[in-house]
Every structure is written in C-alpha cells, then in structure tokens.
Amino acid sequence: MEITSGMVKDLRERTGLGIMECKMALGETKGDMEEAIVYLRKRGLKIAEKKSGRTTSEGVIGAYIHAGGKIGVMVEVNCESDFVAKNTDFASLVKDIAMHIAASDPRFIAKEDVTEQVLAREREIIAEQLKSSGKPPDMIPKIVEGKLQSYYSEVCLLEQPFVKDQALKVRDVLAAFIAKSGENVTIRRFTRYRMGEDV
C-alpha cells in the first residue's frame, strides 16, 4: 500500500511524533493507522526503557489551578537538558500532567512508590471482601493480586488512564515524549491542594 503524505500528517497529528517515525510506522503496518499507533507506542516504551537510567537534572516546576480556584497542583518534571526544559512541547507536557493530577487525584507516582504498609492494608480489605462474597479460600490470593492491578491504576499517576485520552496511560504519554525528544523525562514529585482539605 502506498503511504501518502496525508496519512503521515494524520498520524503525526494523532501522536505528536516526527514525519520519519510516522512514515516508518505506517510502512511497517502496511498503512493501518490504528496498528501504526500501537507500533509507535510500543517503540516509545522501548526507547523510554533504554533512556530510563540517564540522569534528569533539568526541568521545570509547573502549576495548574482548576477553574473556580478550588483545586491546585504543583508538579516537578525533569529532563536531561536545559534545551528540552525550555521547549514549548515540554511546557505543554508539564501542564497536561498537572491538569491530569488535578482531575485524577493520584496518591503515588509509580507502583514502586506504594508502601508495603498501604499494600498490606489493601490486600487485607480485598481478601475480606472476597471472603464475604463466598469465593473459595484457595482462589483468594490470586484474585487479590489481580485486584491490586486495578488499585494501582486508581492511585498511581503513571498507571492512570490519561485524562485527555483514556486509551493511553500517563506512562504512555511520557514514553511518547521521550521518544520524540530523545531525552529521558521523569516526574519527580507533585502536590495537589483541594480547598478546605483536612479542615
């Protein structure tokens, strides 16, 4: 199948990646747009994994105040160079992440950040619910671990469905930016404020 400039343009608009990457993805998937998106997402994750060990000492602190001024977020997103930190695409990424945090209220950045104490409490709650519903005792540990995956997608920023595109997780958005920029990018920390909280 011939890959047209219109197809490349459409894929670029949908993914935010460069012309050559989009053209290559369409070639690899014989012009299938949805498969090309999946191909690029997988490739982005591979690139992100390769770059994950690189130091991120530059970046910005971004803020987002939700309409009405009742919810506010501050987030620190790091990258490798000042050049990327000053890029408008990076600023947009940081703003999108801050907006996502305001909307989705994560408690942790990654699965690895969830403490053993929190996990033990969640396992106990899930196991008790399963016992009450009459599940066979030998099946409960396996079901508990499966339900923990759902828990991660609720409380871990990187595992949450991205607020602007529910088909993607936040980590997919980050991986796509890493593939596009050529630099490692990490979310270091965030704080979410809600008016009247803990009063």
The model's confidence at residue 159, banded by pLDDT at 50, 70 and 90, is very high
Domain ranges across the chain? 5-51, 58-109+156-194, 115-154
* Domain range 5-51, CATH class: mainly alpha
Which pLDDT score is estimated for 54? 60
Which pLDDT score is estimated for 45? 52
The model's confidence at residue 20, banded by pLDDT at 50, 70 and 90, is confident
Q: pLDDT averaged over the chain?
A: 85
Give the chain as a DSSP string. ----HHHHHHHHHHH---HHHHHHHHHHTTT-HHHHHHHHHHHHHHHHHHHTTS---EEEEEEEE-TTSSEEEEEEEEES-HHHHT-HHHHHHHHHHHHHHHHH--SBSSGGGS-HHHHHHHHHHHHHHHHHTT--TTTHHHHHHHHHHHHHHHHBGGGSEETTEEEEEHHHHHHHHHHHHSS--EEEEEEEEETTTT-
When pLDDT is averaged across residues 105-117 and rounded to a whole number, the result is 94
CATH number for the domain formed by residue range(s) 115-154? 1.10.286
* Domain range 58-109+156-194, CATH class: alpha beta
Which pLDDT score is estimated for 109? 97
Which pLDDT score is estimated for 56? 67
For residue 97, pLDDT over 90 is answered with yes
When pLDDT is averaged across residues 58-82 and rounded to a whole number, the result is 92
